[in-house]
Amino acid sequence: MTPLLVMLGAAIGSGVRYLAGHLLDRAEMHWGTLLVNVIGSFILGAIAFNLEPSMLALIGVGFCGGLTTYSAFAVQAAGHDHPVNWPYIALTLGLCLPASLFGVWLG
C-alpha cells in the first residue's frame, strides 16, 4: 500500500512541478523550479516529524519528493551549454534549507 501512496503523491507533485517550470522558468532564472523546491522543502519540514506513516508516504515522500527536484536544479544551474548560474544556485540552496528548518520549527 505504501508504495502506491508514494506513487500517487509523486504523480501529483511532479505534474505541478512540470507546470510551474513550464510557466515560470526563464533562461536567466528558473523561478518555477525554485518556487516548487522552496515550497516542497517547507512542507516536508513541517510534516516530517509529526505525521502518521501512511500520510507521510503520500504527502512527504510522494508529493514533496515529486514536487521538488535536484536533477533539474543541477542541470539548469550547471549545464554545460550556458554559464554557471550562480544566483540560481545561491537562491535555491539559500532558500530551501531555511524553508525546511522553518517548516520543522512550525511543525
Partner 1 sequence: MAINVVGSLALALLPHVGVVRRHSLLPVFLGTGILGGFTTMSGAALLSPGARPLHLMVFVATAVITLPLVRLAGRAVAPTEAADFAEEGGDE
User: Which position among 40, 56, 58, 91 is part of the footprint of partner 1 (CB under 8 A)?
Assistant: 40
Using rule CB under 8 A, residue 45 touches partner 1: yes
Q: Provide the 3-class DSSP secondary structure of residue 106.
A: helix
Measured CA to CA, the distance from residue 86 to residue 84 in angstroms comes to 6
User: Which position among 5, 56, 58, 99 is part of the footprint of partner 1 (CB under 8 A)?
Assistant: 99
> What's phi and psi for 30, nearest 5 deg?
-85, 75
Q: Provide the 3-class DSSP secondary structure of residue 75.
A: helix
CB of 54 to partner 1, least distance (A): 18
Residue 49: all three cell numbers together: 516529524
Using rule CB under 8 A, residue 79 touches partner 1: yes
User: Which position among 5, 56, 91, 100 is part of the footprint of partner 1 (CB under 8 A)?
Assistant: 100
CA dihedral (66, 36, 69, 38) in degrees, to 10, reads -120
Site residues for partner 1 per CB under 8 A? 10, 13-14, 17-18, 21-22, 25, 32-33, 37, 40-41, 43-45, 48-49, 60, 64-81, 84, 89, 92-93, 96-97, 99-101, 104
